[in-house]
Amino acid sequence: MVASVSGHQVTSRRLLKGLRELMNEISDAQTRMNHMVTQIANEMVADVCSIYLRRNDGSMELCATEGLKPEAVHNTRLKPSEGLVGLVADGVEPISLSDAPHHKRFSYRAETGEDPYMSFLGVPLLKGGRLIGVLVVQNRAAKSYHEDDIESLQTIATMLSEFVSTSSVMEQLQGFDIKPTQPETLNGKVFAKGLAFGKALLHAPEIEATRFLADDPEAEEARLLSALKDLRSGLELLLTGEAQVQGAVPLEVLEVILLLSQDRNWEKRLVEGVKSGICAEAAVEQVRSEHRAKMANAKDNYLRDRLQDLEELDNRLLRHLSGVINSHVGFDGEAVLVARDIGPAELLEYSGVKLSAILLEKGSSSSHAAIIARAMGLPMIGQMRGLLSRLQTNDPIIVDGNTGNAYLRYDPKLAEGFGSRLTAMRAETVRVQALRNIESKTKDGKRIHLLMNAGLVLDMEHLADSGAEGIGLFRTEFQFLMSNSLPRVDAQAELYSQIFELSGGKPVTFRTLDLGGDKIARFLSHDKEENPAMGWRALRFGLDRQAILRYQLRALLRAADGRPLRVMFPLVSEISEFDAAKALLGQEVDWAKKMGRKVPQNLEIGTMIEAPSIAWSINEISKKADFLSVGTNDLLQFFFAADRSSPKVNDRYDIMSKPALSFLKYVKTQAETTPISICGEHAGRPLEALALIGLGYDRLSMPATSLGIVKEMILSVNFEKLRDFVNSLLARENVDFRQELLGFAQDNGIIL
């Protein structure tokens, strides 16, 4: 099949070929640009062709021209947004006018000698979504430029952008803002506190074209169409469940991306690019730069989200074309991981990288990725609009996880002050850690048991230093999230044996698999669910896939090797579910005895209180369970009907409200003598922990990084006085629990 070639495509190919020859023959940047504007003007039958480049201060400088006065070059500068060149720059899209001098944005500069020119066509020069200049052609006659003329000039602008942004040109042209070089401050929501320095490591780095011109446009078009076909079929497989969905890309986003991939206008822009003589990657880069530039200028949030979906589509197509996978191998130094969003499985893949912090354009403070970040002691800030378009790999960043600010390409003076804060924070950490061997008791002698949440072998290294009495929650699903196939019993048992050894004899509570929601194992196919957090997950999944649950229970029994074992079942909604799970564990104990294996000298079986339904059966389940643990993360999202992964509602409902605390008080009271703990994220926040202790909870499990500050708070509290105050608040109406408790802490010298 021979593709038809239009007149403007012939023009573009001829021009691109001529420009490539110029780049090979002439090394001086200014001479190259002078020849380029002459060649472009001749080929496009224009009286004027000019190149304006954006300086660091945002002004536009005339750097080369054919047709205007030569003495205006490097002497004519337009202020930001000034003139028609500023209009092109502001809109980052072509502007075509047949009567330019009478346009309200026209800015007359006598030194250029542009008086006789009526028509104007300007297109933006873009690199990586950043505006680096404007390419202009002008004519004396009041002509209307055709769509073919605009497309030809856009194609030429893409190649010109590549030429201008090379390091050799930048060495000769000083003071131009080609790459993001200026300091910037972005603000977002704090998901995990802390301070950090590091260099940007992009989770899905942009793929840049290694070549620009195509030797065979017809073959290049075929390669592009093949990549488009692969892209669309790959997206369809992800949506049907035949291929695994990455944790950070929700199904609804994939649906939008698939729909956009079928947009014929998008495909037409790409095909036009390769027909004009550039390679497929360069054509995608051209379109992506346009999308990114428009996204940076978009004020409407919905429009920004749609443009962000387009950029996701462009990046996926580039990866199909290049065959480059997301890789962080060989990254040097401390990394600040930068992503649109990230799932727990993807975050765990960075275990070999020295991460110092995480920044996200989206995300949720209660996502499992955020939970992992807190467990790893990594500052994490999310919901930072425009983050990806403002960063390049290796850009230096300061992350302030206390205020929610990230300082990109920061000023050295800021670094000095921040370094002092970091030193003070580390000294504070050392001071708090000094309390690790002190018994956790209130001032009036009430014993509060402090335990640690874990899910990785890495977490266990903090157990001794943290002062925790044991592991109140070991999340077993992370091993499954990191594996491409179902972990065999031997592999599971080996991990659990390591945990037993690293615990040093302290108790460990193993929670059985809690897959589903935002924790999707690669080797399992899941049907799309409207409400995955309330769908087929946790124990529901385990009881339906009994072989997987039984293998895990078998591995736990084998790893215990006769030692005491604590097993906890997640998301029990009905007592019959707990009975069924407990029966499966009993069968595995009988099987172990039959095989002549050691069984635990003491086997304790407990359940998570996460579904409100089971909270109304606490009395009954307490008679069957050896211990209970309240998972506040899930319990409160069901209690308030607020999706914990939705940034629009997950911060709206507060555990420090009378309804939530009254409910937790009821659960504690109904448990009577059955040991009950809190293992949600709230247990690790001093003020929330203070409220929970006031409700009567005396077993708190939290990230290792929170143990010291919570213990310091406990040592400064009078329990009976706190309990009476909390009960008095619960008896009042229209009470601001958070403010009242803060006032109580201040009046009584409680350290928060």
Residues assigned a catalytic role? 368, 679
Length of the chain as a residue count: 752
C-alpha distances (whole Å) from 739 to each of 430, 692, 716, 726 are 29, 15, 19, 12
Residue 638 · residue 653 · CB < 8 Å: no
For 70, other C-beta atoms within 10 Å of its C-beta total 11
Tell me which residue has tokens 């194992």. 521
For 210, other C-beta atoms within 10 Å of its C-beta total 10
Residues 6+ apart with CB under 8 A from 543: 549, 577, 580, 581
- Residue 606 CA to residue 594 CA, distance in Å, equals 25
Q: How far is CA 262 from the centre of its chain?
A: 26
- Residue 320 CA to residue 328 CA, distance in Å, equals 18
Residues 6+ apart with CB under 8 A from 363: 191, 341, 342, 369, 370, 380, 382, 383, 647
H helix intervals, 142-193: 147-164, 167-172
Collapse the DSSP code of 679 into the 3-class scheme (helix H, G, I; strand E, B; otherwise coil) and give the result. Answer: coil
Structure token pair of residue 60: 């536009």
Structure token pair of residue 264: 């014929």
H helix intervals, 165-279: 167-172, 217-240, 251-261, 264-275
- Residue 610 CA to residue 635 CA, distance in Å, equals 4
Select from 396, 394, 243 the least CA-distant residue to 328.
394
The DSSP element (H or E) to which 96 belongs, if any, is strand 95-97
Residue 322 · residue 211 · CB < 8 Å: no
Select from 541, 530, 527, 535 the least CA-distant residue to 480.
541
- Residue 272 CA to residue 152 CA, distance in Å, equals 9
Phi, psi for residue 108 in degrees, rounded to 5: -80, 130
- Residue 87 CA to residue 514 CA, distance in Å, equals 54
- Residue 418 CA to residue 239 CA, distance in Å, equals 45
Task: Name the packing angle between helices 264-275 and 147-164 (round to 10°).
Answer: 70
Burial 351-389 (b: 16+ CB within 10 A, else e): eebebbbbbbbbbbbbbbbbbbbbbbbbbbbbbbbbbbb
